[in-house]
């Protein structure tokens, strides 16, 4: 609890983990079974997210990547195994977890600013939210939405709405950002630009990020490690480390190193597919 | 086809829905007010003709002219505060009070049904069953319970009007976006916060669809209550007029009941427009005129 408040108080800076300095999230032997459907969604997942790194998760539909993200967010319970965030087990939703979905999920009757302030308002009331409006303004400026504070969602483009959602995720200063196909609903060009922007924001804030995607180039472009999963049961087939220098420009996608990485992710995906079919 | 129409004969911007309907025929080029007036004139003309050639008895179907005269008489009576004016005022009160209580009770029960497992599992089936009953048949019961005065009519209006509000409120609460619900859960929002800050506002378009239906039903309830339970409202006057075969008077009074219904409906629609400024689509405007 004290830790949560601290991470809020530091106006968006990452709070340092207590135990192992580097490990923000540590997942050990995590499994998830949906008993009613007799379905094993996740089996034996081990994963470590280090501070300031970007992790992409890719896999065929039904591989449990979204389930994994929701368990990490404390939104659905795990069946067995352990998840530690900043050394403390995740047992439910927490203020030091930031989350974002494919849809912006903005409240259409609220202005951009009030949407960004929503998590604070829910947690600590309207007065507290008003006090933090300077910080929210700064965040909107960070994502290039200065001057759009009083605009309502229906007047924003898809990309702009997702940028408001980024600010809302960042406003409580979470230690981990969980992104569930955040730009999947946007057109290709906007999506590339948003990925580029997200990279900049994550670098600037030294954020620890976990992103579910189903586009291989996007997964490689964004990540320090690409987690490749297979379906039925969902498990990790391979973790591909990406050591391309940052900040990465879109040009990096034309380099042979990038092509090699994309190929090895592709091969791991195919391997996982064959495994599932047996 | 629509592409061609859009490019060559219709230079202004059309929505896809409009483009689908657009056939390029002469009907599309008539402005809507003129279309409405033309059709109205055609119907009036047919009415006049049918009466004029003596196809039906003037006693059973008075012509447009007689009806207009009677309408003017009634209008004079209402404006000078005569007995029709008093009756209209009573029916108006019954309708408005019936509508307001239907709105309050309907939204409340809708939230109970929409928010609780027991409401969804046990209460909703009963509501659906009750809604299938011919509610008009309850009028004598309400008269027995609440007397011949205004109360039994208010209850009748409430009873007919509040089902659509309950159902639409519950449906609106259930229709809330799953991801946004996840977001609220991730923010550790409580049940009351989720209801107040997310579910109720996003259910408003549904609730208003229910309220618009209720506005029209409330008039029906009040008048039916008056038919069957006496009292002093328009329903009673219409009953008396039809017993003496004053069909022209019946028509004139029905006209004012229509005005009452339209005004109430319009007031709800206006409130909706003010409150739902963030809604750009008008999907829900079509419903409600049940």
pLDDT digits (tens, 9 = 90+) for B194-242: 999 999 999 999 999 999 999 999 999 999 999 888 778 999 999 999 9
Q: pLDDT band for position B10 (50/70/90)?
A: very low
Contact A154 B280 (CB under 8 A): yes
Measured distance CA(A159)–CA(A186) in Å, rounded: 7
Pairing of β A54-58 and β A209-212: parallel
Q: Does A75 touch chain B (CB under 8 A)?
A: yes
Structure tokens at A75: 């939104």
Question: Which chain A residues are within 8 Å of B198, Cβ to Cβ?
Answer: 107
Contact A94 B182 (CB under 8 A): no
Contact B186 A75 (CB under 8 A): yes
Contact A75 B187 (CB under 8 A): no
Quote the pLDDT of residue A37: 76
Quote the pLDDT of residue A38: 78
Quote the pLDDT of residue B289: 36
The alpha carbon of residue A195 is apart from the nearest alpha carbon of chain B, in Å, by 21
Q: Percent of chain B beyond pLDDT 90? A: 65
Measured distance CA(A109)–CA(A125) in Å, rounded: 18
Evaluate if residue B164 carries a pLDDT over 90.
yes
Quote the pLDDT of residue B24: 72
Quote the pLDDT of residue A179: 95
Quote the pLDDT of residue B55: 80
Q: Does A19 touch chain B (CB under 8 A)?
A: no
Q: Which fold has domain B74-285?
A: MetI-like fold (1.10.3720)
- CB neighbour list of residue B181: distance below 8 Å, 6 or more residues apart: B194, B198
Quote the pLDDT of residue B283: 44
Average pLDDT over residues B5-26: 61
Which chain B residues have any C-beta within 8 angstroms of a chain A C-beta?
Answer: 177, 179-180, 182-189, 193, 197-198, 201-202, 277-280
Quote the pLDDT of residue B28: 77
Contact B186 A74 (CB under 8 A): yes
Contact indicator for A190, A158 with CB cutoff of 8 Å: yes
Of A74, A105, A109, the CB nearest to B177: A105
Of B177, B182, B202, the CB nearest to A75: B182
Contact indicator for A265, A219 with CB cutoff of 8 Å: yes
Evaluate if residue B181 carries a pLDDT over 60.
yes
| Ranges in chain B annotated CATH 1.10.3720.10 | 74-285
- What sign does the CA torsion over B239, B244, B250, B253 have? negative
Contact indicator for A158, A186 with CB cutoff of 8 Å: yes
**Mutation target among A109, A173, A178 for the B interface, most CBs of B within 10 A:** A109
Residue B276's closest chain A neighbor by CA? A109
Of A70, A74, A122, the CB nearest to B193: A122
Residue A117's closest chain B neighbor by CA? B187
Question: Which chain B residues are within 8 Å of A99, Cβ to Cβ?
Answer: 182-183, 186
Measured distance CA(A246)–CA(A248) in Å, rounded: 5
Q: Does A190 touch chain B (CB under 8 A)?
A: no
For chain A, domains (ranges, CATH) are 2-96+173-277 (3.40.50.300)
Of A74, A75, A122, the CB nearest to B189: A122
**Mutation target among B183, B188, B276, B280 for the A interface, most CBs of A within 10 A:** B183
Q: Does A88 touch chain B (CB under 8 A)?
A: no
Quote the pLDDT of residue A21: 63
Question: Which chain B residues are within 8 Å of A96, Cβ to Cβ?
Answer: none
Question: Which chain A residues are within 8 Å of B202, Cβ to Cβ?
Answer: 107-108
Each residue's pLDDT, cut to its tens digit, for chain A (278 residues) gives 334 433 333 344 444 444 556 889 999 999 999 887 778 889 999 999 999 999 999 998 888 899 999 999 999 999 999 999 998 999 999 888 999 999 999 999 999 999 999 999 999 999 999 999 999 999 999 889 999 999 999 999 999 999 999 999 999 999 999 999 999 888 988 898 899 989 999 998 899 999 999 899 999 999 999 999 998 888 999 999 999 998 898 889 999 999 999 999 999 988 876 654 43
Of B186, B193, B278, the CB nearest to A97: B186
Quote the pLDDT of residue B14: 65
Quote the pLDDT of residue B9: 43
Average pLDDT over residues B126-134: 88
Evaluate if residue B6 carries a pLDDT over 50.
no
Of B187, B202, B280, the CB nearest to A119: B187
Q: pLDDT band for position B186 (50/70/90)?
A: very high
pLDDT tens, residue by residue, B86-114? 999 999 999 999 999 999 999 999 999 99
Contact A73 B186 (CB under 8 A): yes
Evaluate if residue B287 carries a pLDDT over 80.
no
Quote the pLDDT of residue B284: 42
Q: Indicate left, alpha or beta for A260 from its phi (over 0: left) and psi (-120 to 50: alpha).
A: alpha
Contact indicator for A88, A63 with CB cutoff of 8 Å: no
Q: Count the neighbouring beta carbons within 10 Å of the beta carbon of residue B149.
A: 15
Residue A109's closest chain B neighbor by CA? B278
Burial A89-108 (b: 16+ CB within 10 A, else e): ebeebbbbbbbbbbbbbbbe
Quote the pLDDT of residue A10: 38
Contact B201 A107 (CB under 8 A): yes
Average pLDDT, chain B: 87
Residue B277's closest chain A neighbor by CA? A109
């Amino acid at each position: 609890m004290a830790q949560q408040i601290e991470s809020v108080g530091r106006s968006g800076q990452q709070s340092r983990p207590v135990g192992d300095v580097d490990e923000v999230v540590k997942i050990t032997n995590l499994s998830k079974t949906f008993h009613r459907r007799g379905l094993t969604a996740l089996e034996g997942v081990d994963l470590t997210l280090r501070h300031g790194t970007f992790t992409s998760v890719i896999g065929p539909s039904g591989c449990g990547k979204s389930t994994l993200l929701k368990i990490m967010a404390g939104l659905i319970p795990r069946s067995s195994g352990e998840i530690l965030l900043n050394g403390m087990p995740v047992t439910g939703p927490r203020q030091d977890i930031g989350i974002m979905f494919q849809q912006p999920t903005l409240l259409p009757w609220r202005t951009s600013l009030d949407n960004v302030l929503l998590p604070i308002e829910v947690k600590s009331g309207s007065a507290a939210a008003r006090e933090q409006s300077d910080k929210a303004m700064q965040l909107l400026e960070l994502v290039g939405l200065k001057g759009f504070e009083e605009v309502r969602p229906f007047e924003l483009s898809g990309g702009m709405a997702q940028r408001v959602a980024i600010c809302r995720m960042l406003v409580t200063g979470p230690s981990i950002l969980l992104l569930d196909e955040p730009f999947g609903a946007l057109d290709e060009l906007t999506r590339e630009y948003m990925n580029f922007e997200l990279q900049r924001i994550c670098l600037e804030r030294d954020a620890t990020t976990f992103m579910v995607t189903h586009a291989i180039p996007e997964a490689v472009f964004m990540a320090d490690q690409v987690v490749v999963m297979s379906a039925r049961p969902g498990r990790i087939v391979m973790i591909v480390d990406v050591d391309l220098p940052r900040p990465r420009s879109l040009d990096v996608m034309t380099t042979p190193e990038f092509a090699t990485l994309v190929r090895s992710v592709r091969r791991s995906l195919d391997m996982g597919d064959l495994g599932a079919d047996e | 086809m629509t592409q061609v129409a859009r490019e060559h004969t219709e230079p202004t911007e059309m929505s896809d829905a409009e483009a689908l309907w657009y056939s390029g025929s002469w009907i599309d080029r008539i402005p809507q007010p003129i279309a409405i007036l033309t059709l109205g004139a055609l119907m009036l003309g047919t009415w006049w003709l049918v009466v004029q050639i003596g196809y039906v008895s003037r006693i059973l179907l008075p012509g447009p002219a007689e009806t207009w005269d009677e309408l003017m008489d009634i209008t004079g009576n209402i404006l000078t505060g005569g007995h029709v004016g008093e009756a209209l005022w009573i029916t108006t009160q019954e309708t408005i009070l019936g509508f307001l209580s239907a709105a309050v009770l309907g939204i409340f029960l809708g939230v109970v049904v929409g928010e609780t497992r027991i409401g969804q599992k046990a209460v909703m089936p009963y509501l659906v069953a009750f809604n299938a009953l011919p509610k008009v048949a309850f009028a004598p019961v309400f008269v027995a319970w609440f007397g011949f005065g205004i109360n039994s009519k208010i209850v009748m209006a409430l009873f007919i009007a509040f089902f659509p509000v309950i159902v639409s409120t519950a449906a609106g609460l259930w229709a809330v976006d799953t991801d946004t619900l996840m977001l609220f859960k991730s923010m550790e929002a409580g049940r009351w916060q989720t209801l107040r800050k997310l579910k109720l506002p996003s259910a408003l378009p549904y609730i208003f669809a229910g309220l618009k239906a209720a506005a029209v039903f409330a008039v029906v309830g009040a008048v039916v209550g008056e038919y069957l339970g006496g009292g002093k409202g328009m329903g009673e006057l219409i009953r008396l007029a039809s017993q003496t075969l004053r069909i022209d008077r019946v028509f004139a009074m029905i006209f004012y009941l229509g005005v009452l219904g339209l005004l109430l409906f319009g007031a709800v629609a206006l409130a909706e427009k003010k409150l739902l400024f963030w809604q750009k689509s008008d999907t829900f405007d079509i419903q409600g005129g049940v």
